[in-house]
Structure 1
Amino acid sequence: MFIILCIAKLLMRVLNLLHRGATTLPGRIALRLKPNILFNLSRDVYCICVTGTNGKTTTCAMTEKGLIANNKPCFINKGGANMMSGVVTAFIKNATLFGKPRCKYAVLECDENSLPIITAGINAKIIVVTNVFRDQLDRYGEINTTLERIRQGISNSPNAMLILNADCPVTYSLKFRCKNDVISFGVDCSSSVSVVSDSPLCPLCSARLSYHSFIYAQLGSFYCPVCKYHRIKPDLLATDICNSSFNIGEKRINMSLGGIYNIYNFLSAAAVMEHLDLCYLPIQSFGGSFGRTESFYNGNNKITLMLVKNPVGFSSCINLAFTQYGIFNSIFALNDNDADGRDVSWIWDVSFGRVSSNKCYTIGTRAYDMAVRLKYDDVKATVIENENYRQMIDTIICDNTDFVIFASYTAMMDMRHLLIESFGGDEFWQ
């Protein structure tokens, strides 16, 4: 293994010198040379896995911040490299040339489809499931398929503590599909956010769910009138919510990030801290992950970059931006590359009713599709053709106002290095 680690670490150094980011390729090569390398590198590491449709990257980054604040050195798979090769790369970075871990704790973002493969190679101590929504039908399939992959991943770790979203009937049904102990989290509020429900039926008996109150999509105080499956009182409960402030028991939390979905991310990370008997209060100052409500500044003007990749996440970001960010211009960047999903029909399930920008632009491989979709909600958009992100940057500079960019994954990656070049910041892999 010594030679394999030497090769992988040398490759990391070369990729970093080329400013390419060494997030997956070293792991891919190491797996070719030694398929069970993850088992060897993870033996003495306390592994925390985070999976689910939305919120994985932010939850991992919050958990990382919490562990470091509690003097628990940890490592994380950066840049959203959440498949097997990205996880292996993270372990290689953490290892000495002789395979010994430098940090005891690993916080691992895990793609839902990849979770069974990853947990087969590690001894996961905690598995967090943030939520389960419809996402990239051409890659993930329907919700039940995603849920089954997550269940398979959990079955590889029967002693892991499960941390589940109690407000999501799909996610919390894992309690009844797995033998693991469970810690739950949720919020006590109702919301007027208009987001299409991905799963209106009971995951246990397929009857139509009823609700005492909605939060968004299928999240809320649900109950099944047939099999009596219902939302329980969560172990960690956010109450008295006012924008980004809320209570957990007697503690008042004031988050730096906005949005009800970030309250869920906070709660999932806080549940990890609670299970480890650590203080979660330092997490509230967390300022955001790359591309996830990330801020850049053009003088006094703020540019906010928001990753959007499915109807629930897109609608939630629109609600946050147009209710809390004041006056700004919008850019909607949509690609249909493999990492985005080739099928972009999901944008027709997004609620654009709150969009009220002075100016609105679209860009990306499917810029015209996005412009047509916006037109159907009476939003007029100017198309920036030929994926010309330099022109986009010039537009931001010349318009001399705040901007919010809603971008699919590869569109975000295409433009982010130009945003850093123009306005400052760190590369995603740093």
Structure 2
Amino acid sequence: MIKLLNITGKGATSLPGKLALKLKPGILFHLSRGVYCICVTGTNGKTTTCAMIEHGLKSNNIPCFINKSGANMLGGVTTAFIKNSNIFGKPKCRYAVLECDENSLPLITNCINAKIIVVTNIFRDQLDRYAEVNTTFEKIKQGILNSPNATVVLNADCPLTYSLKFDCKNEVKTFGVNGNGKNKVASDSPFCPCCGVKLKYKSIMYAQLGDFYCQNCKYKRVTPDLCATDVDGSSFVLENQSINLALGGIYNVYNFLSASSVLNLLHLNYLSLQSFGGSFGRTESFYCDNKKITVMLVKNPVGFSNCLHLAFGRYNNFDSVFALNDNDADGRDVSWIWDVDFTCVSSRKNYTVGKRAYDMALRLKYDGIAPTVIDGEKYQTVINLIKNGNRDFVIFASYTAMMNMRHMLIENFGGDEFWQ
């Protein structure tokens, strides 16, 4: 089945796992025995962090497997283990790097013996699926409670994420950044998770990430076990070494730190992560003649705002495409786009496309941007604009828009499918 789905261009991401779980509910428990499982969850950065960990393991000559397609629910994780098993159900690789959807983490950790659980951050995301951040927090907490022997890696700069430490007895390692961010990204969680009083900050990187403290209950940011200093774009100092990332954006500094924390726990060198070039749809590049097309996945206010700041701070002379859908995988509620600050948009031409192209156009209009609307999912129109134009493009796309458009970009300009 897996080979057939790949041949047809669909990719064997979740369906084989879902069918296997129906036929044998305990299959994941059996296939994961003897496998060192590293789980990565959180709102933003899961896919990139997992790909970085995979890159680091392989750079240290340690074979591993990963649910690379981003199928991060129980069915997708089960499919990854099926692909890693021989006909006798024995694992081909002994290390698994698993991207885990926040809501699915308790289901996944209930079936496997997680050795490391990484929590990148907790932001507001897809209100119709996750509700408010406290709901996400509770799901992640339950996933950790299912794994009392796992080492938990937490973002020390995120007040809500770090507070997980008080609800579990696991060994905890932390990562963070010393510095002041320049991006004015609104906070999703401005209140103390312990007592509810509004937090104070000595410095802020973006949103609620920073050197926080509570005047009421004295909850505060700890000194991280792995801490970046002297941050300048994607360059910084870590453990007295100068680091220069191939990926831009302060959020990728955090992704680097979370992946490096895992490699540290495994007593492996993390310097190879500097050369990591990105994962599918996350600041991924395609080329049409001498024109560069950059694809950025956007799915919540904090992530979208960070992508805008990165694109308009790092790239020059490009046209923009804003692709917005409201399928199940995107979230039916698109009201979150009103919490994104588009005032930094300075491209010559702007286009909106997708099922909610008009909603996106209306939002842009309120920040003084008058885009051309491509009605519906007419992604071929975008491909034609790229082919017939003479400028670079940056595409900001919600999940299903990104997946559909990415397939067309590969067909026209080359590249690997998402499962490869």
Q: Give the TM interval when normalised to the shorter protein.
A: over 0.9
Q: 1:379 aligns with which of 365, 369, 373?
A: 369
Q: 1:16 aligns with which of 3, 6, 29?
A: 6
Output the amino acid matched with 1:366.
R
Counterpart position of 1:361: 351
Aligned pairs (5 A) from 1:100-249: 100-249=90-239
Counterpart position of 2:315: 325
* Rounded Cα–Cα distance in structure 2 between residues aligned with 1:392 and 1:22: 27
The C-alpha deviation readout for 1:139-175, integer Å capped at 9, x for no partner, is 0011001000000000010010000000000100001
Q: Does residue 315 in structure 1 map to residue 305 in structure 2?
A: yes
Counterpart position of 1:99: 89
Q: 1:47 aligns with which of 24, 34, 37?
A: 37
1:67 shift after superposition: 0.4
TM-score scaled to structure 1, two decimals?
0.97
Q: CA RMSD in A?
A: 0.6
The C-alpha deviation readout for 1:209-266, integer Å capped at 9, x for no partner, is 0001111111111000001111111011111112211111111111100000000000
* Rounded Cα–Cα distance in structure 2 between residues aligned with 1:69 and 1:98: 29
Q: Does residue 351 in structure 1 map to residue 341 in structure 2?
A: yes
1:386 shift after superposition: 2.9
* Rounded Cα–Cα distance in structure 2 between residues aligned with 1:120 and 1:306: 33
* Rounded Cα–Cα distance in structure 2 between residues aligned with 1:225 and 1:55: 30
Q: 1:28 aligns with which of 10, 14, 18?
A: 18
* Rounded Cα–Cα distance in structure 1 between residues aligned with 2:260 and 2:365: 41
- Structure 1 unaligned residues grouped into runs of 5+: 1-10
Q: Does residue 259 in structure 1 map to residue 240 in structure 2?
A: no
The C-alpha deviation readout for 1:335-355, integer Å capped at 9, x for no partner, is 000111110000000010100
Say how many residue pairs are matched: 420
1:412 shift after superposition: 0.4
SS class of match (1:211):
strand
Say if 2:35 and 2:95, in contact at 8 Å, map to a contact too: yes
Q: 2:382 aligns with which of 374, 392, 410?
A: 392
* Rounded Cα–Cα distance in structure 1 between residues aligned with 2:22 and 2:189: 39
The C-alpha deviation readout for 1:273-304, integer Å capped at 9, x for no partner, is 00000000111100000000000011111100
1:101 shift after superposition: 0.4
Say if 2:55 and 2:276, in contact at 8 Å, map to a contact too: yes
Say if 2:185 and 2:305, in contact at 8 Å, map to a contact too: yes
* Rounded Cα–Cα distance in structure 2 between residues aligned with 1:297 and 1:345: 33
TM-score scaled to structure 2, two decimals?
0.99
Percent identity reads 69
Q: Which runs of 4+ in 1 moved over 2 A?
A: none
Counterpart position of 2:68: 78
Counterpart position of 1:59: 49
The C-alpha deviation readout for 1:74-107, integer Å capped at 9, x for no partner, is 0000211000000000000000010100101000
